Amino acid sequence: MSYQYETHLHTSPVSACSIASPEEQVRAYKAKGYAGIIVTDHFVNGNSSCPRNMSWKKKMAYFVSGYEQARKEGDRVGLSVFFGFEYCLHGTEFLTYGLSPEFLFEHPDMDKLSIEQFSRFVRRHGGYLAQAHPFRDEFWIRNPGPIEPHLMDGIEVYNGGMPHMVNERAQAFAALHGIPMQSGSDSHSVELKFTSGISLEKKADNIFDIIKAIKSNAVGQITPYAI
């Protein structure tokens, strides 16, 4: 038996691009047989609907509300809900796990860190970061392409919103540099024909179980094709 986990998911209204409420996302993944999800709403330096003129504490209270609502619904229906976020710098984005909501409240202005600073910051505090859709090329991305391999702990080799060829490039890059791989739907809606993620042989009790499994290359990739 394996346990399926969504690694990349957004909720409305925290992520400005999402049209699915936290409760809707939880119920949808429960119905699909998933064991859990990681809520990775866009951080306040990305595509967030959080008002820019709020104090840091108010920003964080708004930001974590999607996760908190999802966790409450998860407790009700029996789905594990873990906390993460998608950090953004000039359009380049990083799935970040292992830093708690309480941690964010205590570290104002962490949204202003450079990629190098953010990588050191996350790791120093016991977190994990993986570059999301590393070969996405859009006008709003200042420097498209993957960052230096030593700055990341993992890399998204399948993203549900990317063309097959873009995902293939990410997979090849990860294999070339020996970077742990992960897959995710990048879900913004419950109307997904195919949901992605990773599979584990044992149920995860916390986010660190998932981090350990990814780093150990002990996860299966949930994709429409073999990886």
CATH number for the domain including 160?
3.20.20.140
Instruction: Assess if residue 207 is contained within a domain.
Output: yes
Is the model's pLDDT at 142 over the cut of 90?
yes
CA end-to-end span of the chain, whole Å?
A: 20
Q: Which residues of 155-177 are buried (b: 16+ CB within 10 A; e: fewer)?
A: bbbbbbbbeeebbbbbbebbeee
Instruction: Assess if residue 74 is contained within a domain.
Output: yes
CA distance 100 to 142: 29
Is the model's pLDDT at 1 over the cut of 90?
no
Instruction: Assess if residue 145 is contained within a domain.
Output: yes
Domain of residue 38, residue span: 3-222
Is the model's pLDDT at 189 over the cut of 90?
yes
Residue 227: predicted pLDDT: 87
Instruction: Assess if residue 130 is contained within a domain.
Output: yes
Residue 160: predicted pLDDT: 98
Taking only the tens place, the pLDDT of each residue in 86-126 is 999 999 999 999 999 999 999 999 999 999 999 999 999 99
**Above pLDDT 70, what percent of the chain?**
100
> pTM, whole model, 2 decimals?
0.98
Instruction: Assess if residue 227 is contained within a domain.
Output: no
Report the number of distinct structural domains present in the chain.
Answer: 1
Is the model's pLDDT at 81 over the cut of 90?
yes
Residue 136: predicted pLDDT: 98
Give residue 220's pLDDT band: very low, low, confident or very high (50, 70, 90): very high
